[in-house]
Structure 1
Amino acid sequence: MILGLSRAGLRGVALAVTVAVAQFAGPAPVAAGVTAFKQAVAEAASSDRDVADFYRENNYEPVWTGADEDDAARRQALFLALSGAQAHGLPLNRYDADALYAMLRDVGSPRDRGLAEVALTKTFLRFAQDLRSGALIPAEVVRDIKREVTYDDRTKTLERLSRENPRAFFRSLTPGTTEYARLMKEKARLEHLITQGGWGPTVQAKSLEPGDTGTAVFALRNRLIAMGYLRRSASASYDGLMQKAVQQFQEDHGLNTDGVAGATTMKQINVSAEERLKSVIVAMERERWFNKRRGYRHVLVNLTDFSARIVENDRIAFATRAVVGKNVSDRRSPEFSDVMEFMVINPTWNVPRSIATKEYLPMMKRNPNAAGHLRLYDSRGRVVNRANINFAAYTARNFPYAIKQPPSSRNALGLVKFMFPNKYNIYLHDTPQKSLFARDVRAFSHGCIRLQQPFEFAYELLSKQTDDPEGLFHSKLRTGAETKVDLEQPLPVHIMYRTAFIDAKGRAQYRDDVYGRDALIWQALEREGVSLPDIQG
């Protein structure tokens, strides 16, 4: 199998291919051979407009199957790159390097060479796009992934290949983020670890805590050692060292760091290395979808981590816990990017129509005075007296009123919201429900992102436009009036979903697949031919 060859083996393949094609690609081929080659190229390329345009502009000259050193270098670079496709978690059967090699080896005429030429080009473009922008189309796998993937111009990609150093060109296709490189390293680490038996037997206990002894504690100790959280030890009890190891594990998995291996922590401890490897492969695909600059300064929300961060020059300038959308069909927070433009201090909550008609209208039908903190407005923006409304006459389709909650500390949006206007009506905001931030799993909202420390988040945003961000913020807050404050330096907002990522210290972090999205992505990758390595033992 060609994909199992070493680099030396691939050089041998390149040499064999060069010999195979040389007889029909010499420096002075006869006119009939040239015509047959070009006709075959035109014929094979006709089904792909970009490929056809490239060869027409290139006068149907070869880029892979010529006899010169440049073509040989491109062939060798392509086969070398395809041999590394599995390291990127890409579907090998899409590229079928063995079939390509056989096609080149069996070239028997200029026409055969022309057909092989285009086959190499089509495989190259498929591979280059997969490596650069992902093997899947996000929205076709998960409806709530609204991210628009950027695809390179295919004709320009071919033009670059024909004029640049081939190996350097292939390296440039890989996402250039530090995160992608770290994920690749973690993927290799897990694959090696699995060949050694993974993390060993699972811990057969619902929970364990400091002071416990017994066989389950032995199992926990051994698993923590295998995971790298604990040095080898003969300790038979849940001692201080084990407690510290559990706390580090909890930190790396987004759990409350109490050092007790409770049910939630034990569930994560018992996740297999194979499942973690799937998360890493999915994270690499997601990173390929997001193949553009995030911005020197940007807001990063990771839905699985229930967190929001302000990142500047790859450094976390501020971080806070977050509450995200509840895991039901119409509340899950979508994934997308936009630009934060302003904040609103003392905001009015304009109740979305879906919430007004699905939640509040039924309540008001039962009791017209329900949800008394809300006000109803007619189409002219006038407050309507509830006593004059026959709520029983309305349905979700014909309910004519807007529902709003005036600014107050009890407002559903709290005392500040951060706006990046978008068609999904998603934004970041404060909340009066502070108790939710103490939980490990924080999926409770209608889709917007609630922040545990919204004031401090605002101070960091305002720090770029005033020497006294706290003073500016509170001068507006004290008025009690709704006030819009523009950001002089709008910044990108990226709402993402990563169950595997690498932190600034280089430690692998894993989170629950709270919405089940990564499971769907993995299934789609499997259908396309991605698989875990065939590991024995």
Structure 2
Amino acid sequence: MHDSAPRGGCSKAGAGGARLLRSAMGGAILAAVMASAAAAQDRESDIRITPFQQAVAEGAAGLDALADFYRETGYAPLWTGQDENATARRVMLLNAHEIAALHGLPTDRYRPEGIRDILASAGDPRSLGEAEIALSKLFVALVRGLEGGVLTPSDVAPNMKRSVTRRSDTEILRQFSSAVPAAFLRDAAPDGQEYLRLMREKLSLEAVIAAGGWGRPVGDVKLKLGDAGDGVVRLRDRLALMGYIEAHPGARYDAALREAVLRFQSDHGLAEDGVAGPSTLGAMDVAPETRLGQVLVAMERERWLDRELGARHIWVNLTDYSARIVDDGEVTFETRAVIGKDEADRETPEFSDEMNHMVINPSWYVPRSIVVGEYLPKLKKNPNALSEFKITDRSGREVNRARGFSQYTARSFPFSMRQPPSDTNALGLVKFMFPNKYNIYLHDTPAKSLFDRNVRAFSHGCVRLAEPFEFAYALLAMQRDDPEAYFQRILRSGREARVNLDVPVPVHLVYRTAMARPEGGMAYRDDIYGRDARILEALLAAGVELPANRS
């Protein structure tokens, strides 16, 4: 889809752009203006600094990347020259509005009318130089949006710790100067399958919105297998418009309709019971404009993510409460997860790192915030509380609890707390480490009942795994003939043991409320921390547009 649609779109847009260029001032007039300006510049070529060069230098002042590029090229025009390459670049830029819209980027700044005005203003060497810089600025902004997104993650929400990798503006212009214009832009955007599928869903939702949406709401009912009536007809009609079942006039809740409801529930992270109750119907009532907003945010998040995830990597999607091991694009292991509570100091952050070891029979070194915020009040009331924990001083010596703790405050409490290895240890019997400054890792837990819940945001920030032993076996299978026996032998010893991974595995903690299914269709999840709502608000403020329902 991506290879054919965007490429075809660019080709078609290129023809349209050429027509726009010819009609900007009446093609001959525009050509004459630019040729006149170029000739004037040529007449002054014996002067060390021409008006064109002066205008370019002044326009790039304070913009080191642009200044460096034009100094490197001797102030040669990239956009305003009369050669075929410059013409192709201008045509491409006249199509930038369509390219930006296709990728869910701000479009206003790239409207062809504005670009034509810039070109039309180039009536003399100095204004030609001003136009040159204006077009370079527009182009660099477009490329930066395509390859790294519109926003800076940490500016939107503090727990989005992801840093975005972008080329320098100098490198962008340097590489573009010798590239095929349309191909350069096509290659700037992510080329992963997830991004391509999200683009396809964006186009599909825009078509749904243009056609008036998903039809009548089902209403405030509860429908199940065997039911009949108008509510069933509305349910079938809506699922048909959403692509879950073939449309037909049947008014009975039959097995085919139940299967469609089950697929919808799976796609939306709902309890899969085949009953169209309040939660399921509420998810069906979410407007296509809202889903489109989720897709636009997901596309922005894909642009933030480093392109190379790793042939083998661990993918933890917080909104999906899941952790997966992915090998060469295929999920080879998957388990449910518990993530941080929806509280400012407990949300699980988003970032990428490398897992390099696991600890079997781990001790839990209690974070200072938990020691003084949760445990100290209990110790002040009863010094023998939390008896399974060791309280130690700065030298690692165990503290005599008989002296009590009532004299300490959260600020003055001088001790550390550690929970030794045991079945009741908060970390369970194994933890998986990718050392990071946020003190986040994956681990086992004795609180197994939480994995039966649909919403699983209960931890202090780390990620708990429902099947940690099996997760360990899958990781160790790359370096042990019998990973289970090896793991169990260490486990039975009861002693804390570090096991290094021979090859570190990239870990990506991500937050996706819109996910494309490889087999087709989409999956959506709730915005549990409200981060996507903040991203969408920021995107709209930056100029990204959502289409209006035109029914």
TM-score (norm 1): 0.95
1:414 matched to which residue of 2? 428
Deviation, structure 1 residue 19: 4.9
Q: 1:331 is matched with which residue?
A: 346
| Residues 312 and 505 in structure 2, CA contact (< 8 A), matched pair in contact too | yes
Q: What residue number does 1:126 align with?
A: 141
Quote the residue 2:43 is aligned against: 30
Query: Which of 1, 12, 16 is equivalent to 2:19?
Result: 12
What residue number does 1:86 align with? Answer: 101
**Counterpart contact for 1:210–1:238, Cα < 8 Å:** yes
Corresponding position: 1:222 with 2:248: no
In the alignment, the residues of structure 1 paired with residue 249 and residue 364 of structure 2 have an alpha-carbon distance, to the nearest angstrom, of: 59
How far apart are 1:481 and its partner, in Å? 0.9
Instruction: Report SS of the residue matched to 2:331.
Output: strand
Question: Which segment is superposed worse, 230-239 or 285-294?
Answer: 230-239
Query: Aligned-pair distance for 1:507?
Result: 2.6
Deviation at 1:216, TM superposition (A): 3.1
Partner Cα separation in structure 2 for residue 28 and residue 412 of structure 1: 75
Q: Which amino acid aligns with 2:85?
A: D
Conservation of the 8 A alpha-carbon contact between 1:100 and 1:116: no
Distance 2:456 2:509 in 1: 16
1:440 aligns with 2:454: yes
- Partner of 1:383: helix, strand, or coil? coil
The amino acid across from 1:508 in the alignment is: M
The Cα offsets for residues 469-508 of structure 1, whole Å up to 9 and x where unpaired, read as 1111101111011111000011110000010111232331
Aligned residue for 2:336, secondary structure, equals strand
Amino acid at match of 1:74: R
Alignment of 1:72-471 (within 5 A): 72-205=87-220, 207-389=222-404, 391-471=405-485
Letter in 1 for 2:513: T
Instruction: Quote the sequence identity (%).
Output: 51
Q: 2:517 and 2:40 mapped to 1: Cα distance?
A: 55
State the 1:452 CA deviation: 0.7
**Offset of residue 90 of structure 1:** 0.7
CA distance in 2, matches of 1:360, 1:519: 35
Contact persistence 1:205–1:216 (CA under 8 A): no
Question: 2 CA distance for matches of 1:331 and 1:471?
Answer: 36
249-258 vs 15-24, which moves further:
15-24
- Please give the root-mean-square deviation of Cα atoms over the aligned residues, in Å: 1.9
Give 3-state SS (helix, strand or coil) of 1:223's partner. helix
Which consecutive residues of structure 1, in runs of 5 or more, have no partner in the other structure? none
Q: 101-110 vs 189-198, which deviates more?
A: 101-110
**1:536 maps to 2:543:** no
Moved more, 163-172 or 134-143: 163-172
Instruction: String of CA shifts for 1:40-81, please: whole Å, max 9, x gaps.
Output: 111212131111111112111101100011111111122223
Say if 2:40 and 2:125, in contact at 8 Å, map to a contact too. no
Counterpart of 2:262 in 1: which secondary structure? helix
Partner SS state of residue 280, structure 1: helix
Q: Distance in 2 between matches of 1:256 and 1:454?
A: 23
Quote the Cα distance in structure 1 between the aligned partners of 2:153 and 2:401: 45
In the alignment of these two chains, the number of paired residues is 533
Residue matched to 1:45: 60
User: CA–CA distance in 1 between the matches of 2:401 and 2:217?
Assistant: 59
CA contact (8 A) 1:217 1:238 kept: yes
**Alignment match, 2:34:** 21
TM-score (norm 2): 0.93
Give the drift of 1:214.
3.9
Matched, 1:525 2:539: yes
**Range 421-430 or range 404-413, more displaced:** 404-413
Q: Distance in 1 between matches of 2:399 and 2:331?
A: 47
Letter aligned with residue 527 of structure 2: D
Higher mean Cα deviation, 256-265 or 406-415?
256-265
- Does structure 2 conserve the Cα–Cα contact (< 8 Å) formed by 1:414 and 1:429? yes
Question: Tell me, which stretches of 5 or more residues in structure 2 are unaligned?
Answer: 1-9
Task: Please identify, of 233-242 and 177-186, the stretch whose mean Cα deviation from structure 2 is larger.
Answer: 233-242
Indicate if the aligned counterparts of 1:40 and 1:114 stay in contact, CA closer than 8 A: yes
CA gap of 1:82–1:436, structure 2 versus 1, over 3 A, is: same
SS of residue in 1 equivalent to 2:308 = coil
CA distance in structure 2 between the partners assigned to 1:219 and 1:408 by the alignment: 55
- Structure 2 letter corresponding to 1:173: A
Tell me, in whole angstroms, the C-alpha distance in 2 between the residues paired with 1:184 and 1:500.
Answer: 12
The answer (yes or no) to whether the contact 2:94–2:111 under 8 Å persists in 1 is no
Cα drift, residue 321 of structure 1: 0.7
Indicate conservation of the 8 Å contact 1:77/1:170, yes or no.
no
Secondary structure, in 3 states, of the residue corresponding to 1:221?
helix
C-alpha deviation, 1:26, in angstroms:
4.9
AA matched with 2:237: N
